[in-house]
C-alpha cells in the first residue's frame, strides 16, 4: 500500500491481499467523502457492457437490493430498497417528495450544508417545513426535538442527517429516532455518508426511510443512490410525487414487477457496486468497515496533533468519515498552496465549510488504511515545511470557539 504499483501489479496485489488497493500509478488518493478511492476490482468490474433488460443485469440489481437490506438489518422483510439514478441529492429529493404528503410538515434538523440542502429541497417541493438550524457543528439533541414536536402538532415528519459531512459530525441518531417515535412522528434520514460503516439498523433506529448512495461507505463509483423505506410507506407514496423521474413509488413498483429500472440504469456503476458490496462483506460488513475507518481517523488525528493541528470536534462527536482541522494560525499558511503541495504528494484533500474560522477536511473513507493515513501525515509535515510554517497550531479564536462548543453540548 505504501508504494503505488503499476496497473497490472496493483491488480495482483488486490487479489492477493484483498485489502486496500493503492490507486494506479500517478493517480492520487481521494481523501474526500465521495467520489473516493475505489478498489481495483471495483474499477475492473466496469470493463464490460450490460444490457439493461438482460437477465444478468436484472440479477445484479436484485442482488444489490437484497444485500443493502441485509446491511440495514431488515430481517423481518418490512422494508424495501429502491435504487434511483443520479447523485445522492436526487435520492434525497425523491424520498422527500414521495414520502412526505403534500399537506405534510417536516422538521429539518440542520447543522451544515446537507441539512440546509434538505430545507431548500422542501421549498422547491412546496412542502411546509420548520428548520432547527444548529449552525456549523452543534448536534441536534433528542430533548430539543421532543420539545419542538410538542410545541407544533402540525409536524408530521422529522428529517435528520446522520453524518453531516460538512463538519464531519456524527449526529445522535438514536436520540433523535427515540424522540421522534415517542412523539408519534415519522423519521426520514440522510445517511448518505454514514450507511455501510456507521450502524444504521432498522431494528434499532425506528425510521420510515433513509437514503444513501453508491460512492460513499460502500465504496462504489458515482451514478445512483438508493432509498430504503418501509413497504407501508412506499405503498402510501403512490401518486404523491411531484416528479415522474423522482417518483420512488413508481420506481419501486416497476422494479418489483419487471426487475428493471424504469429508465436507463447506470449499468457500469451497478456492476462496480456489486463488486464493492462483495468487498464490503469480505471485510466483515458494516462492523469491519467501521473498524478500518475509525482506525484511519485515529491514526490521522494523532499524527496531525503531533504537527500542531487541532480537530474542530471533540472525540464524542467526531465521525469516522471525515475530520475537520483548523487551519494553522501561522501567517505563511495558505490553503490553496497547501492543497497543491498535498496533491503533488499524491493526496487530494478537501476545503473546509465552516463560516467562522478557516479549516480544511481530510476524509477517512475509501480504499485507504492506516499506512496511507501515516503517509498523509508525513505529506502534511513536508507541505508545511515547504510553506515555511513551523507549527500548525490554530489561532486562539478557533480554540475558544471549540471550548464554547464543548460546553454547549
Do the Cβ atoms of 301 and 322 come closer than 8 Å?
no
**C-beta atoms surrounding 214 within 10 Å:** 25
33 binds ligand PLP (CB under 6 A): yes
Give the three cell numbers for residue 355. Answer: 463560516
Contact window for ligand PLP (CB under 6 A) among 143-151, 171-179, 186-194, 369-377: 186-194
Give the three cell numbers for residue 17. Answer: 491481499
193 binds ligand PLP (CB under 6 A): yes
User: Which H or E run includes 99?
Assistant: helix 88-99
Please say which residue, 110 or 192, places its beta carbon nearer to ligand PLP: 192
Beta carbon of residue 113, minimum distance to ligand PLP (angstroms, whole number): 8
130 binds ligand PLP (CB under 6 A): no
Which residues face 347 on adjacent strands? 29
Please say which residue, 141 or 162, places its beta carbon nearer to ligand PLP: 162
The single residue among 41, 89, 260, 295 that binds ligand PLP, judged by CB under 6 A, is 89
* Full DSSP string of 201-242: -TTTS--SEEEEETTSTT---SSEEEEEEEHHHHHHTTTT-S
Q: What are phi and psi of 223, to 5 degrees?
A: 150, -20
Please say which residue, 38 or 193, places its beta carbon nearer to ligand PLP: 193
User: Which H or E run includes 8?
Assistant: helix 7-17
Beta carbon of residue 110, minimum distance to ligand PLP (angstroms, whole number): 11
Please say which residue, 218 or 379, places its beta carbon nearer to ligand PLP: 218
Please say which residue, 93 or 345, places its beta carbon nearer to ligand PLP: 93
The single residue among 11, 13, 63, 87 that binds ligand PLP, judged by CB under 6 A, is 87
Nearest partner of 352 among 342, 361, 340, judged by Cα:
361
Beta carbon of residue 87, minimum distance to ligand PLP (angstroms, whole number): 3
Considering only residues 309-368, where is the footprint of ligand PLP by CB under 6 A? none
Beta carbon of residue 219, minimum distance to ligand PLP (angstroms, whole number): 14
Instruction: Provide the phi-psi class of 100: left if phi over 0, else alpha when psi is between -120 and 50, else beta.
Output: beta
Contact window for ligand PLP (CB under 6 A) among 57-65, 81-89, 125-133, 353-361: 81-89
Give Dmax over CA atoms of the chain in angstroms: 64
Distance CA 215, CA 221 (A): 5
The single residue among 23, 88, 97, 266 that binds ligand PLP, judged by CB under 6 A, is 88
Distance CA 117, CA 137 (A): 15
Beta carbon of residue 148, minimum distance to ligand PLP (angstroms, whole number): 21
Which residues face 325 on adjacent strands? 311, 360
Cell 418489483 -> residue: 256
Beta carbon of residue 151, minimum distance to ligand PLP (angstroms, whole number): 27
Contact window for ligand PLP (CB under 6 A) among 86-94, 95-103, 148-156, 356-364: 86-94
Considering only residues 34-53, where is the footprint of ligand PLP by CB under 6 A? 34
Distance CA 306, CA 392 (A): 9
Q: Taking CB under 6 A as the rule, which mask of x and - marks residues 134-173 in contact with ligand PLP?
A: ---------------------------x---x--------
Please say which residue, 8 or 355, places its beta carbon nearer to ligand PLP: 355
Beta carbon of residue 35, minimum distance to ligand PLP (angstroms, whole number): 9
Do the Cβ atoms of 109 and 140 come closer than 8 Å?
yes
Nearest partner of 125 among 160, 157, 156, 100, judged by Cα:
100
Beta carbon of residue 304, minimum distance to ligand PLP (angstroms, whole number): 22
Do the Cβ atoms of 268 and 102 come closer than 8 Å?
no
Do the Cβ atoms of 167 and 135 come closer than 8 Å?
no
> Which distant-in-sequence residues (6+ apart) come within 8 Å of 205 by Cβ?
173, 174, 177, 187, 189
| Total interface residues for ligand PLP by CB under 6 A | 13
Mapping DSSP to helix (H, G, I), strand (E, B) and coil, where does residue 117 land?
Answer: helix
Considering only residues 197-226, where is the footprint of ligand PLP by CB under 6 A? 213
Beta carbon of residue 190, minimum distance to ligand PLP (angstroms, whole number): 5
Q: Taking CB under 6 A as the rule, which mask of x and - marks residues 91-120 in contact with ligand PLP?
A: -x---------------------x------
Q: Enumerate binding residues for ligand PLP (CB under 6 A).
A: 33-34, 87-89, 92, 114, 161, 165, 190, 192-193, 213
Amino acid at each position: 500500500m505504501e508504494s503505488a504499483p503499476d496497473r497490472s501489479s496493483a491488480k495482483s496485489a488486490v487479489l492477493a491481499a484483498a485489502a486496500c488497493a493503492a490507486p494506479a500509478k500517478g493517480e492520487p488518493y481521494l481523501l474526500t467523502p465521495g467520489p473516493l478511492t475505489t478498489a481495483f476490482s471495483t474499477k475492473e468490474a466496469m470493463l464490460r457492457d450490460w444490457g439493461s433488460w438482460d437477465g444478468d443485469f436484472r440479477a445484479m440489481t436484485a442482488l444489490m437490493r437484497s444485500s443493502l437490506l441485509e446491511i440495514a438489518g431488515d430481517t423481518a422483510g418490512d422494508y424495501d430498497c429502491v435504487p434511483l439514478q443520479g447523485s445522492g441529492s436526487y435520492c434525497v429529493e425523491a424520498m422527500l417528495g414521495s414520502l412526505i404528503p403534500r399537506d405534510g410538515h417536516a422538521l429539518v434538523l440542520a447543522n451544515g450544508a446537507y441539512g440546509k440542502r434538505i430545507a431548500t429541497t422542501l421549498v422547491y417541493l412546496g412542502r411546509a417545513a420548520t428548520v432547527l438550524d444548529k449552525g456549523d457543528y452543534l448536534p441536534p439533541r433528542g430533548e430539543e426535538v421532543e420539545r419542538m414536536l410538542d410545541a407544533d402538532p402540525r409536524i408530521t415528519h422529522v428529517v435528520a442527517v446522520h453524518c453531516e459531512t460538512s463538519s464531519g459530525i456524527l449526529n445522535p441518531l438514536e436520540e433523535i429516532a427515540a424522540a421522534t417515535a415517542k412523539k408519534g412522528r415519522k423519521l426520514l434520514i440522510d445517511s448518505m455518508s454514514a450507511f455501510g460503516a456507521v450502524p444504521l439498523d432498522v431494528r434499532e433506529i425506528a425510521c420510515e426511510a433513509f437514503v444513501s448512495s453508491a460512492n460513499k461507505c460502500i465504496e462504489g463509483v458515482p451514478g445512483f443512490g438508493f432509498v430504503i423505506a418501509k413497504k407501508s410507506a412506499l405503498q402510501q407514496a403512490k401518486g404523491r410525487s411531484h416528479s415522474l423521474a423522482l417518483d420512488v413509488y413508481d420506481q419501486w413498483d416497476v422494479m418489483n414487477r419487471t426487475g428493471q429500472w424504469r429508465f436507463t440504469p447506470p449499468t457500469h456503476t451497478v456492476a462496480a457496486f456489486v463488486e464493492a458490496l462483495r468487498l464490503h462483506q469480505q471485510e466483515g460488513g458494516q462492523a469491519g468497515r467501521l473498524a478500518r475507518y475509525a482506525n484511519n481517523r485515529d491514526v490521522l488525528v494523532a499524527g496531525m496533533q503531533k504537527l500542531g493541528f487541532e480537530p474542530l470536534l471533540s472525540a464524542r462527536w467526531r465521525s469516522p468519515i471525515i475530520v475537520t482541522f483548523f487551519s494553522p494560525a501561522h501567517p505563511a499558511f495558505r490553503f490553496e498552496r497547501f492543497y497543491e503541495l498535498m496533491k503533488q504528494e499524491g493526496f487530494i484533500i478537501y476545503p473546509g465549510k465552516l463560516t467562522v474560522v478557516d479549516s480544511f477536511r481530510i476524509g477517512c473513507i475509501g480504499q485507504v488504511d492506516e499506512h496511507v493515513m501515516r503517509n498523509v501525515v508525513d505529506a502534511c509535515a513536508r507541505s508545511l515545511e515547504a510553506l515555511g510554517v513551523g507549527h500548525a497550531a490554530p489561532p486562539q479564536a478557533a480554540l475558544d470557539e471549540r471550548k464554547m462548543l464543548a460546553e454547549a453540548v
